[in-house]
Amino acid sequence: MADTSGSVRIELPEHDRPPRPGETDLERTDPDLELTATLVLRRPTAEGDQAAAAQEADLFAVLNFARLNGLRVTESEPNTRSVTLAGRASDFERILHVELIDVELNGKRYRRYDGAPSLPAGLGEIVTGVFGLRARPTRPRPRVHHAGSTEPFWTTVDLARAYDFPEGTDGTGQVIGLIELGGGYDEQDLRAFFSEHGLPVPSITFKSIDGATNQPASPEAIQQWLDVVEGRREESDCDATLIEAAQMTVEVTMDIELAGALAPGAQLVVYMAPATEEGIYKALSLAIHDEQPRVDVISMSWGEPESFVSDAHVSAITQVLEDAAQRGITVCASSGDFGAYDDPQNKTLCVNFPASSPLVLACGGSTVVRCESKIDNEIAWNCGLHGIPASTGGGVSELFGLPPWQSAEHVPLSPKGQPGRGVPDVAASADPHNGCAIIVGGQPCSSFGTSAVAPLWAALIARCNQALGSRAGHLNPVLYELARSERSPFRTIVEGDNGFYRAGAGWNACTGLGTPKGRHLLDVLRARTSNSR
């Protein structure tokens, strides 16, 4: 088919991603391979009916372009301003003026492209992102090695009591969305876990993105993973695929069990997507724009170093996070488990995205040193063993400037010497020595990492929403205002470090404003709501 994409072209900016260390080119992608790509369209600058008309015109232009170039439209989502197209690899190469290359990293094969993608004038102004052709997987979660880490420190009941979750609330009427990127959960594990806590299994809705399914790892894979975590077995002696599948299954199961037990009245929606830029964008977009059910709070345990994500991906995710703020949805994201050096291979100071977005409540981690009837001493989480670092992610963004609500917090300059958004905003227990009892693959083990903090904060916000009768929405400006008041709802962490930054009074780049005093948080939010009426 002739190229109908026009002679005058506009290069799509900000699509570059640096190769990962060890990435090897194999060969050109099979020209006849069937692929899909998601095109993200610009946000209309007009408002009301004019915005709707402009958005409809943009959508029509993209659909017409696809038809003229022999591509099939598999999805068209006006709410999220995105279109998914299907066709052969050679069709996408011709239309975007790139060459697709198969590459390999750590035994995984995926694609990248040579050249900057471009589109004909007019269309290039409409399309702000193209995702799916470059199918590099997201970075897997770190495997935290700690002897005895499967001996939990407390139950979810203990955890809720330690952080003083408000009594008389359980999240009833709230919907918590969980963004998951592979793995799955076993209903037998959930029945056993919630039965132990004297709770019914929560209402769980599973939503698949691009064919992703609920694929929990086998009990044998989970056992291998536990043997590695506890130091009984060398990771090099295990099947890497099984270990990764187990890790992802633990991740998904942990999110469900923690969110479900800490907000037992809430409905949970699991958005399962491929672990790619396209999958992440689609999962987050669906969660934010979903109407059946309508999500109130989102928990994301995924993140990558800012240096690893393309500016186009950041721009696309920022668009949907802006939609979340407009719809009153709070988005909680883990700040990462690699400390201040979120790019440990290159030993680079950097922070995790999307936690670095000012539109996200970035969740860091703590270690509880002493806890009797209440938490008496808490420090920044930093306890890597066996040569593997593991600590609360935090630092200063190179992508986002200093937001107004952090201007009084003495956020240090970024590694490049510029003012930037400080990460994290809040924290809670992340040390596996202080982990919460969960059940995965029929085995009792411990929650761990900032991945456990995001669902905790999501559950706490859901319970506050329930009591207030309204959504908290983009909560960051409010939390920073409250933290500066005499009735701060945070326990400030003043000890410990994350490999570069130290904890200290006020906000810090290890644990943010601190860990929650749940009942106090609800009280000050309620007072603030009453005063604003």
Active site residues: 251, 255, 451
* DSSP notation for 439-487: EETTEEEE--STTTHHHHHHHHHHHHHHHHTS---S-HHHHHHHHTSTT
Residue 376: how many other CB atoms lie within 10 Å: 10
The partner residues of 105 in beta bridges, in order of sequence, read: 108
Q: How many CA atoms lie within 13 A of 527 on its CB side?
A: 11
3-state secondary structure of 8: coil
Residue 180's SS3 state is strand
CA 243/CA 222 separation, integer angstroms: 8
DSSP H/E element including 260: helix 240-262
Count the Cβ atoms, other than its own, within 10 Å of residue 107. 7
- Residue 79: DSSP 8-state: T
Cα separation, 130 vs 525, whole angstroms: 40
Which value, to the nearest 10 degrees, does the dihedral of the CA atoms of residues 354, 356, 362, 367 take?
110
Distance from C-alpha of 114 to C-alpha of 317, rounded to nearest angstrom: 23
DSSP readout, 345-392?
TTTB-B-EETTTSTTSEEEEEEEEEEESSSEEEEEE-B--BTTB--B-
Give the Cα-Cα-Cα angle 360, 160, 269 (nearest 5 degrees).
Answer: 50
C-alpha 302/C-alpha 354 separation (Å) is 8
Query: Cα–Cα distance between 510 and 354 in angstroms, integer?
Result: 17
